[in-house]
Structure formats: structure tokens, C-alpha cells
Structure 1
Amino acid sequence: MKNILVLLLGDPIVKFNNKEVYFPYKKSEGLFYYVCINKKITREEAINIFWADNDETSARKNLRDAIYKIKKTLCDDIFSSVSKSVIEFNSDINIEIDIDSITPSNIINKYTGDFLGNFLIKNCYDFENWVSGKKEEYKKIYTNSVSKKVNELVNIGDFKSIQKYSNILIDNDPYNEKTYRYLMKIYALSGDYNKAIKLYYDLTDILKRELDIGPEPNSKKMFKEILKLKDTSIMTDDSKVYFYGRYNELYAINNNINNFLTTSGTSMLITGEAGIGKTSLINKIILSLNVEKNIVLRSVCYNAEEDFFLKPWHSIFSILGNYVKSEKIHLSSAQEQIISYVFPTFNNEIMSTKFDNIEQIDTTRYEIAVDAIIHLLEKLSDKKNIIFVFDDLQWMDKMSRLLLSNIVFHFKNKKVLFIGAYRDDFENTLSSFIVPLASKDLITKIKLHRFSFEETRNIVSEFLSPNSIDNNLITNIYNDTEGNALFLIELLKVVKEKGYTRELSSKATNIIKSRIMDLTKDEKTLLNNISLFFDKVSIDCLKILVSFDELYIFDIIESLQEKHLIQELITDKDIFYSFTHQKIREYIYECQSVGKKNILHEKIGLYFEECFKSSGNKYLYANLIYHFEKCGNVYKALKYKVENLTNYYTVYHETYPVFYSKANYFTESEDIFSVEQKLSEISKELNNLSETDTEFLKIKMEVSYLSGRYYISTGEYEIGLKKIDSSMRIAEKLENNIYLLNNYKQMIFYCIQVNDIPVMYKYINKSLKLLEKNDNIEERGTILRLKGLYYIKTKKYDDATKLLNESLVIFSSLNQISNKYTLSISACYNYLGQMNKGIGNYNIAYDYFKQSIDLCTENEITKGLDIFYSNLGQVLYEMKKYEESEEYIYKSISLFKKNGTIWGRDIAECYAAMIELNKKNVNEAYLHYKKASEFAKKINNPKSLILSEKVRKLLI
């Protein structure tokens, strides 16, 4: 069989039966190559490409001659004889063409040069254009594949092999500065700053020599940044921070941040074991960020604060508050008040004055604050990109994570990016936060591993003098530290100063011990006192623990800073000090005697208590509980735990009647805050104390009340009622009428949920009798409103109208003094609407429900709107205004889902099912019925059970 081999990459080569052949002239050779690529061409096409300037007769003659020469050079039957107007190869001849087997994956190995190399046909412009196009086409495939190969080498850390491919990229596009910058970045990330710098000088030289121009501003900027990195890359004294390796991680992070700045990137989670270098990597990332183009907001989470909602955001909103002022960002008064209420440091001026509508803020659910925060971030991100950085995410409370999750979901990594770090042994704890974001490709994980033996060798070589290094030393250092970044660097500092000794480096605690063994007595004293604080400490706080002069304290702190044991943290008004690493703090703390620590923690706790009494700053709860627990003051620790939990429950849960379903604004499956777990923990602590103690009984009363509210809200009625009964009995014993009334109201709300009319009446009367002894006009208005609801349920409509109007008068009068009773007024209108709906006065009911809704929307209150929308939708359905009814019913369901409440949703779902049945959407109707039935059974409300059964029969 005849075999022809054609190589078109590089200078072309043609072989016939393994013997190289040569064409007699260029146009016949060019025609052959043209057919090799296109496979099938017409004679007209060939003439237009090679003999466009000739007349038709001579052109056809020249074409015939060229075909004849090809046949003579190769073989007579090389072309098919099927059609005279078409030129194509004979399928019986085996023709192997290198281009035909080229793919993006193999072109690196097969690309031997540009398409047709230096082959040229003079004055044949159409052919030249075709060749140029093909050159670019194959070169582009080749350079893309080389770039991909470079990325692969970067990902596996094989920087030694990159040189070969970087030369290819430059040789193929010698004036492309983007390629130079790309390669400079890679060399810089690998730590080979000299190659990066040389590349810049090569670029400068070729641009000047060939084009008489200089590099672009971006190239110059990168060059300056690389010079800066080179200057700080190797530690030469204790004033510099050492950072080694992590080339793959740095490349991935920087690449992602660049994508974020230009289009959209992905939020990042850096994970690894304790001491692996997560914080160091974050510090390096932050240093590389351009603060002129980005707002960088960093916070560190602490173990002692994980039970305190939104604590990590406190410092961030302090910074944002200042930025809003300096940039004159306009927010509505309501938005500013809402954010300032949740984060007091956002605007201290607002928090120093009394809100006109404080109940509005008190009763606003968490989503209102989130909406205001997102609105703020949208305004800020119009000016600069926002990058949130959170270290030690494993200690972040669930509510903070949910706020962060909501922000990421909203912005989808456009204009707002999140970088976090956490210990990988907390993977399961954080899965509810990570998985939803990862499933939407909004976040990526970057795993940090221990340094390998070879990496450890490189670190030792850079850190220590070459004369002091041998293989045994490297092996000992690696075995002692096992590649853990923190222990490795700490050990190297000791070796550099004192030489290697097995006694000091056998365990991690010895490394830390060696750092503090040469401190002066006063330095150790101050360090011991700073270790008592889990996060940071101010000078004022230190002054209560030591008798040193304030200036002398500063001198000691500066000395500790020079030794890299203490770091300074500067906020708006205060300066704090903390350890450079928690491992050091933990060691120093554990070395002190228990008795001494108890005394000092008591002293600190009392100091924070005075601060709390004067400021009411809820962020002090973490400090109060931590120090009182540490000193063994069980009562005060429990007192502030309960206060903190009550504060959370009051702000972030609606008052009853609602049904809390362990759902929330962010997801329908994750609890915002583990109330049950915290209550259980507090209850166990209470069980270990004496029940005869008055302080104990007061705490037990509060905890039982909170537990009762919680369990009733989750449908666990038996245990919930038992807890309320316990709280009620203690309140009677202590003659605490505030909690006695709270428990009575809770029983009324429970009765509303389950429609227990007689018991509801019993506790209404108990409440009114209690108010006769200790009258409170606000509470009286609430109880009268609830009694009005009771009369509606018992069909005594005149009595109901009278009481609801009395309640309206009370709340309207109070609202004149302080505009904080709008929701109470809306609730009265809602009950009047329910009453008129029940007796068939639909138009009147419509007006009352509309008034409730308008009052709430005008005052930016969403609490209660789910019920009000549902009631309005129901009355519109009864009026046969189905389209309007559908609008409000679905509005209410949307809010029920958003608020995470079930009480009232059962009825709304029933009406949604009936609406869908009217539209013949049986499947949709069935889905709403299933939801309604599920909620009705959970609540055990006879009214909703009857209605859901009615819907079931309609579906049959």
C-alpha cells in the first residue's frame, strides 16, 4: 500500500513510502498543503487562492500543471477521479498528516514549530493570508495548552519545570506583557523573586530595543510589589514576620481574589489543624490587598464567645460606622436605628439617646436587621469592594454564621467576598454553614497540610545559618514538630538563639516555655495577668490587677511586643493587647496556681460588672460569664447566662402567639441559636445548687419560664407546661409579680394555640386580679385585648368590641407619649377584624385587617404581618375575590417561611389549597394541604384541624 507522511508543523516535510520528496515549484507544493488541510476543494477555489491575477484560461492551465507536478512527485493516483470539478485525495492511499492528530491535550508534545514554518509563495496574497490564519489558530491552541500545563505545575508545586514552558510562552508572544506579569506572579509566589525580577528586566529590554517603549503601568506596579515582597521574604530579625511556602494556596487565593476584582470570584475557607499556619496565611493575604480599592473587615472569633450571638461582628460594625460617617453614606433613620440597636458601636450617638420607637426595634425580628445590613453593604460596595475576613470560625456563634451566610447568598461573591479560617477538627460543627454555600458554588475550601520533610528542610535552610545545619538537625527538628508550622517556627527561633537541645524541643509546651524563660519578673507578672483574658485586655483593666505605674506598664508591653509575645489591637477609642498566639496564652495560663487565678478572675469579673451596670453593653456578657465561671462564682455566672439567653430570646423571637419551628430567616432547617442545649446546660448547673437559696430560686424561676416558652413554642406542650408551672410556683413564693404575670400570659398564649377557652379565661382573670394589686397600664391594655379575643371565641361580640376598644384607647394614649405601641394597636384592629369575619361582616373585617397592615408597613414593622396578610386573604376569599385573596395568602406564606413560624401558617396553607383547587391545580392544592395538615397536627388547634379535614374532603 502507498504511504504518504505529511508534517506541516515547522518547516514542512513530505515523505512517500518513508522517503522524503521535494516539489518542483512552490505553487504545486502550496496546493498540496492546502488540500491536506481542507481535504476537499473545488477547482474554482484553487484558482482563486493561487492564480487570482491570471485570466481564466491561463489560470486553469496553471492548475492542471500544478496537479500534474504533484502526481509526478508522489504518485499518479494520489487524487480521486470521481469528480473533475473537485480536488480531493484518493481514499485508497494512506495519507498521514500530523495536523489531523493534533488535540489540545497532545499539542505540547507534537508542536515542532509554526504551521508551514518559513514556507512562502511570493505574490500569492490569498494563500499568505490563509497560512497566517492557520498559524495563529494552531499557535493559540499550543499556547493555551502550555498555559494550562504551567497551571498544573503550579498546583503540584513543581516550580522547577515551569522555566521550560514559560520560555515557550514568551518566545511565541514576546511583546505580550500580560504573559510576563502572569509568569512574574508565579515566580514570586514560589519565592523565586530573582527570576521574577529578571523577567521584568527582559521585558523592559525587548520593549525598548524592538519597540522603543517602556512597560505598562500594571507591569511596573507588579515589579514594585515583587521588590517589596523580596525585601520582607526572609526573616533577618525579630521585627519581621516569617512566612514560607504555601505556593499552591497563595496562587489559588490570589487568582480567586483577582477574579473577584474583575468579574466574580468565590469566597474561601482556609482549613487545617491548630497551628498549621492559617492565621499567617490570612495575614499575608491581607497585606497583599489594596486598601484603596477594598474595604477589608477582619475579626477573630474566640472560644469563650461562641455562645454570644453576633459578637464577632461587633468590631466590624464599629469600623463600618466610622466609614459611613467619613464617606457620608446616607441611611434612613429606621435603618440606622435598627443596625445600631443590634450593633451599638455602629453609631454611639444614636445609642446614647432613647429611641422614639424602641418597641418597634425590640419587636422587629432578626430579618429586619439583616435587610438593613445588606442595604448598608450594597451602598458601601458601590464605592469599594468589601472583603470580610474571619479567623477561627469554629468559635463563631451560629447567628453570626447565619448572618455571614445570608450576606454571601445575597451578593453571590460580587462586590462582597468572604475569607475565613477554621480548624478542620470542627468540620462537622460547621457543616450546616459550609454545605449550603458549597452546594451553590459560592465557597471553596483550601486545605493546609503539615510541611513535608523536604519543605521543613527548605525552611530550616532559609531560617538558620548554613554552617549550623546538618541532616541530623533537620531530622530532629522535623521529628519534634512533625511539620506543624507554629511549633516549627517556634523551635527554629530557639535553635537560632541557643542551639538545638532535645530537652526544650521534645514537646510543644517546651517550645513555648523557652520563649518566656528569660523574661523579667515584671514581664512574667504582666504576661500572667494578660493570660487571664481569653481575647484581649485594655490598660485600664490591667491597672486593677497590678500596682505598676501606667507608663511602666507600657514599657513592659513594648518589651513583650519586641519579643513577639504580645500584639497591639487598635480600635476607635481604645487600645487592647493580646497574645500573638492562643497556644502561648493557654500555656502561660495553665502554669499559674488555681488559687491565684480564682482571686484575679473574681476581681476582673467585678470590674466588668461595674462596666456593665454603667453602660449596659450586652457584649460584656461573654467576659462576665467567663470570669465568674473561672473564679467559681456560680450564681453570678448563671445570672448572666440567663440574662444573655433572655436578651437573645426577647430580641430574636416573636412574642406569642407564634409557633417557633426551629426555623429562621436564613434556612428552614437550622436553629439560629441552640436554646434547648443552653437551657439544658443551665438546668444541670442549677440542679447542683441548694434550692433554699433565694438567688438560686430567682434564677430557677427565670430559666423555667424560658424553658416553658421554648418547649411550648416547639409543640412539646407537656414539658413546656410543667416548666411554666414550676416558674409560676417560684414566682408566687418569691412574690415576684412581674414573672407571675409573665407566666399567666404565657398560659394564655398557649391556650390560644390549642384553643383551650376555659383555661384561657382562668388565666385572664388571674392576670386582672394581679393587676388590681400592682397596676401597670401597658399590661392592662394587653390583658384587656386578650380578654376581648376570649369573648370573640365565646361569641360575646358586644363584650369583645367594648374590651378591644378599651385596649385601643389605652395603647393610643400611650402612643402619644412614646411612639412604641403601634403593634399593640394593630393587634387590636386584627382581633376586631377576626370578630367581624366570624359573623360574616366581611367588608368591615376587610377594613380592620387593612388598618393593621397599613400601620405595620408605615412603621416598618414586619412582626404580625404574616397573620394580618393571612386574615386579609381569608376574608377576600370569603368575598369571592379570589385573585386578591391569592395575593395576600401567598404574601403571608412567604413571611411565615421567612420568619420561621408555624402558628397561623396552617390556616394560610388551607386557604392556599382551596385557591389552587379553584384554579384546577390539584397537585399544588395537595402540597398545600399536606403542609397545613402537618402544622395543624403539630399545633393541635381544633380550628385548623377541622379546616384541614375540610380541604382533604375537597381533594377526594
Structure 2
Amino acid sequence: MACKLEARFLGTPVIIKDGEEVFFSYNKVNALVYYILVRGTVMRDELSGILWADKPDTVARKNLRNAIYEAKKMLGSETFISPRKAIIKVNPDVEFDIDVKRFEENPEENLDLYKGDFLQGFFIKDSVEYEDWYLAERNRLKGLYMDTVRAKIEEAAEKKDFTVIERYGQMLLNYNPYDEGVYAILLRAYCEQGKMQQSMELYESMKDIFTRELHASVPEEIDSIIRQALQKDDTQPGFNKGVSVPIGRETEFEELSTHMWSFLRGRTGEALMIMGDAGSGKTSLKDAALSVLTDEVAVIQTNCYQMERNFLLHPWTGIMEGLVDLLRSRGTEVPDFELNRIYTLFPQMDMSIDRDLGLMEIKDILKFDSLFHTLSSVLDIASAEKKLVIVFEDIQWMDPLSLSLLNSLILRKQSDRLIFLLTGRDSREKDFQHFVTSVAMYKRLHITVLNPLTKKDIRRLVESRHLSMEVDDNLIQRLQLETEGNLFLLMECLHALESTGRFDSLTNNMQTIFKATCLSLTEEQQKILDFISLFYGGAPLAMISEYMQMDNLQLLDRLEVLEGKNLISPIPQQTEVIYEVTQQKLKEFVQKQLSPEKWKILHGYLAGLWEKRLTHSKQDIYIYQHLEYHFEQAGDLVMMGRYKLKSLMYYLNFSHELFPVLGTAEPMQTGGASYFTEADTLQYLESVEAMMERIRQTYGATPEVRNLELVYLHLIGRYFIREGKYEKGVRYILDLIEQSLEMNNRDYALMGYKQMIYYDIQIGNAEEMKNYLEIALDLAVECNYHKEVGILLRLKGLNMIMQGDFAEAERLLNESIATFMVTQTVARRYALNIAAAYNYIGEIRRGSGQFEEAIEYYDKALEICKNQQAYSSWVVFSCNAGIAAYSLGRYDKAKEYFEQAYNFFNRYDFYWRRPIVESYMALLAMKEGDEKKAIQFLDDAMAKLAMMNNPQEIGYVNMAIALIKKEYPSTEISRHYRGSASMYGGRALRYLDVYRDTHERKTIESMVNE
């Protein structure tokens, strides 16, 4: 009689034979059996490879034979067969019920077979290939299951089969918590059944996931479902229609309304709490939530005040008065013994005695149990005839005894006719934290958090005011920055905007609120707050500690108090602990309380603290902006100007193959953090010019101002020359040289001479370059500047190359390299100068037709650039290497070099050598048959020529056009550029360098002479 075999793989895997589970001797046998049963037919090599990939073939085959033997021994010798020696398969004559197979054949009918993930909990060691297989199968089968469940739910939604929807809906959301469609189906099912508690819990869960993980708001369709459900429910007894909901708080209002509705239906035991910062709209939302109730519900409210926090039970006095008045208004008599107990506990309420007894005087007679039972009894009596809502506002100021009493009443509340509605800010007070934690832990408190308004909400609120001005993105952005989404501040700004046309000043209401906030501070706390307000990007803990002359642990206690008052907060994800004032308007208020003298002195002190952090490295750029700000506020405009110019120098990325020094070499910024666009640069230059004019007018021509002027002239002149605006740039540099000589400032005179040398290199003026080199070398020798001599020797070597004296050029270049190799420190600092010297030796080799050797030198230069992350020099060296590779006919290698350079052109506003690179990219594009791209490259190259006016670049662009017109005469690109190939060739010969571009000139000459 044939045995009955079953395999259950959906969930924990089980093999059953004749009703009993089969256990194999080791895990690899299980793995083999599972694999064969699922696949049906497999190759032996496939099995040995997937299970014993780390073993030699002979060992793997032996292990496979042993495993198959073990499997057949347990399941039966005919279970697996081998029609051919290389194959093993499940015997079709053996009846084997496999759940995976049945599920795949008809998932909808066999949905219940899916008990869990495929091979759930199964694992074998040292078999990555097998793990990859079963994980892929697991994901595929789970996807098939979820697709089937999704189809089943959608079908159930049409039939309104709520049982199926609720059964599978949450399962789908666990699988994909971002599926908006499933949320919509499940929410409709809950709402149509009147399960508003479940619907709101699901809605809040979705909102939390979308906000926290997707940084998105809940889709409008979901909001619409909740709104429609609430509109239906607000027809229930106890609800009013037409409630005015604060803009931006619609979702929170719907959430509270749902809980109110549940309360009226007797379905909730939770207290409600609206939590938010000062001015976030807690009271407005509370009033809107209460306004949905009709006269069938009684509301008793009281406020907690900061100044009354030391008066025990003061908040409950108002509540008790309201309860007694409510009972008397209904004609309900409070038993005398209850009134006596009330008057004993709250003597202020007893008008028959002629005394003003403060609670602090009678706290010895207060008994907590007596308080609890008295209040509980009165609340039960008051809510017997009419549902009751007890409201406490600002419970963060509630005294500890009142909080304990409220805690007990909420936790022990039995009546479904009473609900507590609370508002408050988050507070670090232990009593408050204990109250919130303990009540929430037992699920007796639902907290609605009011986050800052989004830009979308701010726009809706502004548009609702029908301002006479245009509401554009700029206005919304400014309002968000000014108010940080705080509803109170936003409304004040809008009032100011309507009345004065501006909102950048503090209104009277703002000042009143902030003044009240600061009144409770001690002198020490105010001092800390004043200090933190002076920073524009947050105050480092170390600086606060130094200012307050406290160690960090002492200071943290003080800072936590200010945090608890919501006046300051730490800035997250910083390398050091940094604090900032919580609101911009509050910060402005605190700053305005400082006298002008104290303002200047403190900013000068802060500038000194920041200067202590300077490391004379690239990291200083992050400190310059702080120094610039604090020196300006301190009234020291010269020091402000110094650091503003340092910032500009860094961001303009000055590091060229001309005279690079590692200290000024720019890092490769993948995120563009240290990069200015052309528009940014021009705007910044305008601000620098305005700053210099302001400094001149303020101080006159003092030595400090004149020295700053030299920095400015060098910086601006260098920038304009680099950008190809030679006339303007040279004017600045010549002015620099004249003023530095007049002031006997030889350092800046030398800088001016070097910049003129750079200019002469760009325009190919070897003769003028030679003159400036002689002057600069004499000055460097006179000043005993050995490293400057090394730089100038390299440039003199380049000048020799431009004149065709290769032997003398190479001697000078090697001498320059030797100058920088005296020590490892010098070699590291001047590594880019060494790289530039290698580049020039490569130019000598290229000019001599030794292209392989030229590439070797270019690669040396490129390696140094890569190590030092100096990528504006990299593009020059890479361009030269590409030309040499192209001359050798190694087009793939040439393309690699040129693309490396081209990618950095797109990252920086850097045009030096760009027309040459684009010319060769065009030639390579034509070889690849991409004529459209070739035209684009050449058009871009032609446009750049006007910027740099470099003769060698002009020569290469014309050379490329000539070669293309010669080689591809019938193409569109040939017609795109008018004129003959000989005409462009003639232009190329006029501009190509006689000594360095010998190969290119020969190529053009042979073409022209044909």
C-alpha cells in the first residue's frame, strides 16, 4: 500500500508521512528535500553547487549522494528518481501533497493554506546560494498572497463584507504600511459601521507613519472619509453644526470631535489633552471642540497660572465653585455633610465666614483620601442628570497636589458621563511628567499634539485674510521663518501686515507675552538666555560654560530649566552640543532688552571665543561666518571685512596649476557645499564692494584699512582674470602692485606680480611674462622667500617652454621640484606645485612627440591632485593627458581623460582649458557617429572662447572644426560651420603653440597643403 506524503512549506516547514512528521538526520537533507519538492526537477550539479558551494566538486558530489540516500531512506526509495544520471526529480507516481503547489495553482481558493512565510524559521549555515533561493521564493509567494488578499478586500468592499475587510485589512497594512488604498477601504468600513474609535486610531496611526517616515501629509481622500463620517455623526444628540475650526487645525479638530462624539455615546473612558507650545492654538482648538456640544452637556472650566503654582488646590477651587453653582441652578441640593467637607477643604468658598484663609495655612488639615472622595462624590452627583466636561487649561502650571488628585480621578473614574479636557505645554517638571506618563500608560489619556503649521496651512490662513497685497511663495516663506508656524505669532504678523504693511517688528501683544515669560526667570537664567540669543546659528555648550564660568555638568542643570520653560532647545544632529532660542520672535525680544553697550561688548567677547577655535585649516571656513557676524555687531568693521574676504577667497576655489599651495587648494565637494554659482558670486562681490565702501567711509585711509584694501584688490583682480574679464582684472592687479609698493608691502607686491604672470600665460604673452618673472624673482630672492623662488622657477620653466627652449625649461622645472622636496612637510604643502612641474615636463615631452612619456608625467601630476583633492588643477592635467592619448590614437583612453575633466567643468564655474576639452569631445563624438553631440560640444567651445580669449584654445577649436569638415564633408556639422576646412586650418595654425602643439600643427599643415 502506497504511503501518503505531505509537505507544508507555508509557515514552519513540515514533512508528514502517513500522518506523522518526518525528521531527517541533518539540516542539509531537509534543505535538499525542500528544494527538490518545490522545483520538481533539478540538476545534480545544481544541487551540489547550491548546498556545498564551498566544497571541492568531489566532496560536494559525495555529500549529495549521502543526502539523497538519507532522504529516500526516510520518505521511501521511489520518492525521488533519476531519469538520467545528471537529473533528480520527484516521482510523478508518488502522491505528494505540497501546499506551495496548491496555493500557486489557485491562490484565491487556497488562501487559508498560507500559514506564514515560506520556510519560516528555517536556516542552514554556509550556503549563501540556498539562502538567496528561499528568500526570493519567500518574497514571491508573500507578494502573491498579498495581491490575492488585496483583491479579496476590494471585492469585499464592493459587497460591504466588513468581516473580510477587518480580517485582512490590518494584515495588508502590516505588509505595506504606506498603502493608501487599503487605509481608505478599512477606514470606510469602520466609519460605515459607526466604529469611530477604531477609525480615528487607524487615522492617527497613518498620520504618524506618513509624517515621521514619508515627511508627507495624509492624502486628501483619507481626510475626506473622516470629515464625512464626522458630519454624519454630528447629527447625534449633543452636537452642534457649523462650528468654526481654526485653519490648519482641521485634522486635530476632527480627532477631538470623534472622541467627544464617543463620549456622548458612552464609548470612552479617556481624558483628552491638547499639547502644544505657547501660541500654538490650544485654546482656540479647545473652544472649537467644546462648541460642537449643545446645552445637554455642561462645561466647567478653569485656568492654571504659573504665579499660583505654590498655592495648593487653587485650580480645583474654581471647579468646585462651578460644580456647586451647577447643582444649585438645577435645584439639586448638595447634602449638608458634603458641603461641610467642601468648605473644610476649600474654605474660600464658604461665604458665611469673615476671613481669608489661604490654602498654605491649612495644608496640614488636608487629607488626600478625603479630597478624592469629596470631589468624586460631587462629580458623580453633578453628572447624574447631565453629561459633564471638566476643562483645565495650562496644566503644566498645576500644583503637585492638584495633579495627583486629577491623576487619581482620571484613573479611577467609573462614570461614562464625565470627561476631562486638558490643555498644556510639554514641561520637564517631574510632577507633570509623572502625571502624563502614568495616565497615558494605562490608556486613560489621549494626547492631541499641535505641531507648527505647515507652509500649506500658512498659505490657507493668509489667503483667508484677503490681504490687499499679493500672496506669493516669498511672503509665505518669510512668514514661516518669522513665526516658525506658531499660530499666535502668525496672527500677530498678519495684524501688523494689515495695519502697517510690514511684519518684521515685535507687536505689543508679542512683547507682553514674552515679557511675562521672562519675568519668572532668575538673574542667572536671564543671563544665560541673553547670551544664547546673541548667536545666529546656536550657542555651543563650551562657550556658554566659559561665559558663565561653570563646568558643563553644573551648566546643564540650568539649561534644563530653560528647556523646561520652552525658552531654549538643543539643535539635533550636531557634532557638539548647541543650544538656540526656541522662537525667532522670542529671540528678537530678548536681544532688544540688551543695552547697546552690552550688545557690542558681548559680541566682541564672542568674536574672541570663535577666534580661539581657528585651526588655520580648511575647516576654518565654518568659523569665518560667525566671526564676520560678531565683529560687525561689535562695531569692528575692519575685522568683519577681513573674515568676509577670507570666506570669499575660500568659496571662489582659488587653486590653479599656476601657483597652487595645499593651504588654499579646494577640496572636492560632492555636495557642492563650498561652491558658488556665478549668480551667487556676483551678488557676493557686490556685497563685498559695498562693505569696502562702508569701511572706507567709517575709518578713512588708516593702515589697517589700506592693508584690507590690498586683500580686496588681489582677491577681486584674481577672480576677474580667472573668469576671462582681463581688462577689469588687470586694472585691479596693477592697482594692487602700485599700492603695495607704496606701502612697502612686498608680500602683496609679489602676489600682484604672480597674478600678472598668470594673466600672461592665459593670453600667451611670453615676453611680458618674462619681464614680470624677472621682477618677481628678484623680489623673492631679496625677501629670502625660498618657496616663492621655487614657484617662480617653475613658472620660468613654463616661460622657457613657450619660447621653445625645452632643455633650459626642464632644468628649471627639476630645480623647482628639488626646492620643494627638502622636507616631507614642505613637499606635502607644495605638492601641487610639484604636480604642476610634472605637468610642464609632460608638455615638453608632448612638444617633442614623446607622447607615452608625456602621459607618464601627466599621470604623476594627476595622482598628486587626486591625493590632495585639488580638482581645478586636475582638469588641466587631465586635458593635457587626453591630448597626448589622442595623438597616439588611443581614443578610449583619451575619452576617459577628457570626460574626467568635463565632469568637473560642470561642477565648477571653471573655463580654463574647457574649449580644448570640448573640441576633442566633439572629435570623439564624430568617431562614435553622434553628430548632434559633436555640434553641441563645438558650439559650447566657441561660446567659451570669448570668455577666456586664450590663443591656444582658439587654435584647438578651429583645428577640430577643420578636421571634421575635412573628414566628414557631407554631414550636417560640416554645413553648420560655414567656410572651408582650409580656412579653419589657417586660423588654427595662427594660434596653436609653435613649440608645444607640434603634432597638431603638422596634422593641420598636411591637410592644408593637400
**If the length of structure 1 is used for normalisation, what is the TM-score?**
0.49
In our comparison, the structure showing a higher alpha carbon Rg is 2
Indicate the structure whose relative CO is greater, using CA pairs within 8 Å and at least 6 residues apart. Answer: 1
